Structure 1
Amino acid sequence: MSDIIQQFREVPTTCISDAMQGLNNLDSCIKPLKDEYKIAGRALTVKMPIGDNLCVLKAIREARPGDILVIDAKGDTYRAIAGDFVVEMAQALGIQGIVVDGAIRDIMGIKNLNFPVFCKGTTVAASNKAGVGEINVPISCGGTSIHPNDLIVGDADGVVVIPQAVEQDILDKSVAKMESDQKRENNVLKDKERIIQYLDNMLQGR
């Protein structure tokens, strides 16, 4: 894992989102199956038609260890992009996680794998394999544009995308926001008087 990816892994998505003015967040419906999941890595993008997941298998075959599969499934929650068998193959090949604007199935099996999946929901219906779809192309996932190798960070609050061209700048701003939040918490929450003073300042626009 590269140094910048590891550094992003230590920053909450809320701070990263603030550093980008909230413009690169995936739809808030896309959540981790377990709150403790945390991912940070490069996007391997997948553009799939509704109900045809053969390109997901192709992406798993071509992914590098540490990649995050980011799948544009058009928001469909009727047919799953994968079940526990496919997800376990991804895990075995070193893929770090899956983010999908769509649904998965075999939820208990996937949870038992302890493999990070971020999705809109679960379903019982499988996909077909007609063979349509593309990988490593620009996509829209959760209402956000994502290019191959953009940085993806996800945690219990959701998923954010950091474009490659600005990743160092966003990292610096995110870390500064995290440190500022911690300093504010340490200063304000010491006693009731400081809390009241802080609230008064906010209400008066100071």
Structure 2
Amino acid sequence: MYEDPPLLTIKRTHRRPSDAQIKAFSGVPTAVVSDAMDGHGALLGHIRHLDAALPSSVCGPALTVWTGAADLLALHAVKRIATPGDVLVHGFDAHQGCAAFGDSLGGMMKNAGVAAIITDGPVRDVTGLIALQMPVWCTGSISSTPFENGPGTAGLPVNIGGQHVETGDMIVADRDGVVVVPFDQIDAVARRAAHIMTLEADGERAVKDGLVMPQSYEDLLDSDRVKWID
């Protein structure tokens, strides 16, 4: 006999990066983080920073929640397991027909210590979210509101923007987008990102000093791998 699924499924405990691991990603651009993962980890580009008036750079542990399309019940439930500094990653099944949340729920999330919200749906009450200074990455804005019926999950894996995200993964977000670093790769990616930052600083200095073409490209253009014709 078929039984109705639970209205909500909530995972109480989860792994979490250390303060030192979080600090290692502070101020690191998402482009560098993705480069450090060989181009992987970035959410699809339709999930973007909501508004220039909001803080535009954040890093922290993912706290995952899935509501399904057009619902927000689990967004209320996830507040029970939130830890200050968490970056809420919300799976809305990429539904675009109504808002995933608005400023009222955004304010509650801020009160619960959530540092930022990332969703694969649109939001509403943009003016209110700006007043809250709650950083948001989403697909846009729309006026209609979701339901509060469930089912949903909190603290369990979600798929959003082409990436699989688990609670405790590292989230790095800025104006370029959002990158997910799997928990067991955090240290390795942090080390590689620091090395890339050094290389990029050297490259930026060279451009400011007038660099037109890196030597490796000069060598390629002068090699027998390039055919020149008149």
- On whether the aligned pair clears a TM of 0.5, the verdict is yes
Matched, 1:8 2:25: yes
- Cα deviation for residue 85 of structure 1 reads 0.6
Which range moved further: 65-74 or 30-39? 30-39
Which segments of structure 1 move beyond 6 Å, counting only runs of 4 or more? Answer: none
User: How far apart are the structure 2 equivalents of 1:77 and 1:33?
Assistant: 15
Q: Which residue of 2 aligns with 1:171?
A: 190
Question: Is the 8 Å Cα contact of residues 58 and 116 (structure 2) preserved in structure 1?
Answer: yes
The Cα shift of 1:69 comes to 0.8
Q: 1:78 to 1:204 in 2, by over 3 A?
A: same
- How far residue 76 of structure 1 moved from its aligned partner, in angstroms, is 1.1
| Contact residue 46 and residue 135 of structure 1 kept, 8 A | yes
Match for residue 46 of structure 1 among 65, 68, 85: 65
Give the match for residue 22 of structure 1: 39
Q: Which amino acid aligns with 1:7?
A: A
| Gaps in structure 2 of 5+ consecutive residues | 1-17, 224-230
- Distance in 2 between residues matched to 1:199 and 1:133, nearest whole Å: 52
Contact 2:27–2:57 under 8 Å retained in 1: no
Whole-Å separation in 1 of the counterparts to 2:130 and 2:34: 27
Structure 1 stretches lacking a partner, 5+ long: none
Alpha-carbon deviation of 1:199?
8.4
For residues 36-75 of structure 1, the aligned pairs below 5 Å read 36-75=55-94
Judging changes above 3 Å, is the alpha-carbon distance between structure 1 residues 175 and 202 closer, same or farther for their aligned structure 2 residues? farther
Please list the CA deviations of residues 91-120 of structure 1 after superposition, one character each: whole Å capped at 9, or x if unmatched.
Answer: 112110100011110011101211111101
**Which whole-Å CA distance do the structure 1 matches of 2:215 and 2:134 have between them?**
41
Superposed CA offset, 1:13-38 (max 9, x none): 10000111222110111111234411
- Specify the alignment match of 1:146 in structure 2: 165
Q: Is the 8 A contact 1:33 1:111 kept in 2?
A: no
Quote the RMSD (CA, aligned, Å): 1.9
Shift of 1:205: 8.7
The answer to whether the Cα contact below 8 Å between 2:61 and 2:167 also exists between their aligned partners in 1 is yes
Contact kept in structure 2, 1:189 and 1:195, CA below 8 Å: no
1:201 is displaced (CA, Å) by 2.2
d(CA) in 2 for partners of 1:198, 1:75: 45
- What is the aligned partner in structure 2 of residue 109 from structure 1? 128
Matched ranges for 1:120-139 at <5 A? 120-139=139-158
TM-score by length of 2: 0.83
For the 8 Å contact 1:154–1:160, the answer to whether it is kept is: yes
Cα shift at 1:160:
0.2
**1:157 counterpart residue number:** 176
Of 87, 102, 105, which residue of structure 2 is paired with 1:83? 102
Cα separation, 1, equivalents of 2:222 and 2:73: 54
Cα 1:196/1:4, change in 2 over 3 Å: same
Which deviates more, 179-188 or 164-173?
A: 179-188
Greater Cα radius of gyration, structure 1 or 2: 2
TM-score, with normalisation over the residues of structure 1? Answer: 0.92
Q: Quick one: which of 104, 110, 119 aligns to 2:138?
A: 119
